Amino acid sequence: MIADTPPLVRLTGVSKHYGGVHALREVDFSARAGSIHGVLGENGAGKSTLIKIIAGVVQPSAGELAIDGRPASFASPQAANAAGVVCVFQELSLLPDLSVADNICITRPPRRLGLIDRRAQRRRAEELLARIGCADIDPRLPVKALPLSRRQMVEIAKALGRNPRLLILDEATSALTAADVEKVYALLHQLRREGLGILYISHRMPEIKALCDTCSVFRNGRHIDTFPAGERADDEVVRMLIGREIHSAYPPKPVRTEAPAPVLETRGLRWGQRLADISLTVGRGEIVGLGGLDGQGQRELLLALFGVLRGVEGSVLVDGRPVRIGSPSRAKSAGIRMALIPEDRKTEGLLLPMSVGENITLAALGGMAKAGVIDRKRESDSIARMVEALRIKIGSADAAVGTLSGGNQQKVAIAKWLLTDARIVLLNDPTRGIDVGTKQEIYQLLHDLAAAGTSILFYSTDYDELIGCCDRVLILYGGRVIRTLEGEAITETNIVASALNLETNGQAAEAVPA
């Protein structure tokens, strides 16, 4: 190790908060050139925010960033690129209708007489694709013709074309086939030999072990530890990831003597490429959790149940009767009484410019109208009731929902569905980006609902929650339920191991082709 040259990138005392939520707390972190530095952490640990700051997508709220020992501040991804910092993002930045070559050379294409030199561009694309071992991708194809795995490779080639000195890959292999994963490993090793610094963000331990020479673990926005790869045993790392302390207190789980009557049941649910075969049951008063890595079908399952997806095969039964749910308004209807608190409250759950009251009553409005006229008294009573019950902090119910904090917004989104008196409540990662206090309140709410007989199915990226709230946890992988954990078996180790598709003796399974 050349200890006296400054690290390629160093963060000192960097914090980032969004409103009341601390994404990063006083992080000191550094990475060197000529190394592959893994960044490990659960969802919400702060990894994404860390690299967004380094890559120029967001500014830190406090602290300093230095490149090669010199202070730096990037106002935009382009500024970061100019300094040699290039990031391959999780959300692809490819333009679907344009060709691979066009995408790779989108910002500074080779030019001739002021116009884009397509032949030179194609050659450049071919070179870059060959470098990452994907010479079989024809640069003339439109990106939308490629499967997700190949698109990710194109994204990597594009990043390479920007001549990075520090290359950041954020969950870059999550969509790749096993073969492509090998190519990426080979490429990264080659780049390391060439002196690039590489930050590799993942929560797949087998990958980190195979690839990285240094590892950093993050948890709850803090940098926990950095160590050379292989120095710590697997279970020690898992403990670091999860932490011994359970930070939230969860309401006690009910003790059941017998399995509750099934309210919601699916048999062989299939949809496109994302749901392969889901069969599950949720009983009366049960809280069932969906776990697993991102993108294994959890979100699609909830959407399918709620009637948003077209072409869903298999059967869904409510109270033992087969039902066809073709739209959310059908899901909401009297015979089924399902509710969905969607993933993105800002674009799917709430109407931000409209008032708190209008948002709360939106789903239940039909029931509050007599002969087509809204009963104003009933409306304001219901609003007041919900605001009080959920302790939503607002000045008045007329305030626009967009002015509320994230936690309060989520409470409004939930209140909306509570008013419909739903029997089956689906939640799509309900506490993401919400402060701890509000999270507690939501857990208590779910507990109370279940105690009153509501069946709850919820997807969370926070394993703590799944452990604390659920009677049962279903781990999804590749659109299937690969493991069901119940009662005492719901432990951190089991969830993480199942999610990573590790057999309990620690061997990694094959990555599922995209």
Partner 1 sequence: MIPLFHRASRQGGLLIALALFVLFYGLYTFEHPRGGSADLIVQNANETFTLALVAMAQTVPVLLGGLDLSVGPLMTMVNCLASHLLVGDGWDLAFGIVLCLCAGLLAGFVNGALVVYGRIQPIIATLATGAVLIGIALFLRPTPGGAVDSDLSWAATNTLFDVADTYGWWGGDLPGWFRAIQSIPVPVILIVLVVLLVWLPFKNSVTGRGCYAIGSSEQAAFMSGVAIDRSKLAAFTLAGFFAAVAGVYLALQTGSGNADTPMAGAYTLNSIAAVVIGGTSLFGGSGGAVASIVGVMVLRAISFCFRVVPEDSPLGFLANPLLQPLFEGVILLGAVSLGAARVFTVKNRLQLFG
Partner 2 sequence: MQDFIRSIDRPILVACGFVVLILAAGTAYTAITQGTATFLSPVYLLQQLKVAAFLGVAAAGMMLVILMGHIDLSVPWTIAASAMLATAAGGPEAIPVGLAVGALVGLVNGLGVAVLRIPSMIFTLGVNTVLRGLMVMLTGGFSPTTMATPPMQFLAKTELLGIPMAVFVWALLSLGIVFLLTRTPMGRYIYAIGNREAAAYLSGVNTRLVILGAFTLCGLCSALAGILLAGYSSKAYQAMGDPYLLPAIAAVVIGGTNILGGQGRYAGTVVGTILIVLLQSVLSVMQMPEAGRQIIYGLVIILMLVLYGRGGRPAA
Please list every residue from 127 through 186 that binds partner 1, using CB under 8 A: 138, 140-142, 145
Structure tokens at 453: 């007989």
State the nearest-atom distance from the C-beta of 141 to partner 1, in Å: 5
* Angle, vertex CA 473, rays to CA 467 and CA 476, nearest 5: 125
Does 350 sit near partner 2 (CB under 8 A)?
Answer: yes
Please provide residue 11's backbone torsions phi and psi, each rounded to the nearest 5 degrees. -110, 135
Does 51 sit near partner 1 (CB under 8 A)?
Answer: no
Paired with 476 in beta bridges are: 481
Indicate which single residue of 14, 241, 269, 363 sits in contact with partner 2 (rule: CB under 8 A): 363
Structure tokens at 200: 């590799």
Whichever of 244 and 310 has its CB closer to partner 1, that residue is 310
Whether the CB-CB separation of 229 and 213 falls below 8 Å is answered with: yes
Whether the CB-CB separation of 394 and 415 falls below 8 Å is answered with: no
Indicate which single residue of 178, 249, 354, 509 sits in contact with partner 2 (rule: CB under 8 A): 354
| CA separation for the pair 157, 175 (Å, rounded) | 15
* Angle, vertex CA 355, rays to CA 402 and CA 352, nearest 5: 30
| CA separation for the pair 53, 62 (Å, rounded) | 11
Cβ neighbours of residue 104 closer than 8 Å, sequence gap 6 or more: 121, 124, 125, 128, 129, 139, 154, 157, 158, 161
Does 310 sit near partner 1 (CB under 8 A)?
Answer: yes
Whether the CB-CB separation of 291 and 475 falls below 8 Å is answered with: yes
| CA separation for the pair 199, 80 (Å, rounded) | 15
245: left (phi over 0), alpha (psi -120 to 50) or beta: beta
State the CB neighbour count (10 A cutoff) for residue 112. Answer: 10
133 binds, among partner 1, partner 2, none (CB under 5 to 8 A by kind): none
Residues in the chain: 514
406 binds, among partner 2, partner 1, none (CB under 5 to 8 A by kind): none
In one letter, which amino acid is 114?
A: G
Residues that bind partner 2 (rule: CB under 8 A) add up to a total of 34
Does 348 sit near partner 1 (CB under 8 A)?
Answer: yes
Site string for partner 1, 442-481 (x = CB under 8 A): ----------------------------------------
Whether the CB-CB separation of 25 and 15 falls below 8 Å is answered with: yes
Indicate which single residue of 60, 197, 221, 349 sits in contact with partner 2 (rule: CB under 8 A): 349
Does 420 sit near partner 2 (CB under 8 A)?
Answer: yes
Site string for partner 2, 297-336 (x = CB under 8 A): ---------x-x------------------xxx-xx----
373 binds, among partner 2, partner 1, none (CB under 5 to 8 A by kind): partner 2
Site string for partner 1, 70-99 (x = CB under 8 A): -------xx--x-------x--xxxxxxx-
420 binds, among partner 1, partner 2, none (CB under 5 to 8 A by kind): partner 2
Structure tokens at 451: 């105690």
Whichever of 144 and 189 has its CB closer to partner 1, that residue is 144
Does 402 sit near partner 2 (CB under 8 A)?
Answer: yes
Q: Which residues bind partner 2 (CB under 8 A)?
A: 306, 308, 327-329, 331-332, 340, 342, 346-354, 358, 361-363, 365-366, 368-369, 372-374, 376, 400, 402, 416, 420
Q: Which residues bind partner 1 (CB under 8 A)?
A: 77-78, 81, 89, 92-98, 102-103, 106-107, 109, 111, 114-116, 118, 138, 140-142, 145, 271-272, 303, 308-311, 327, 348
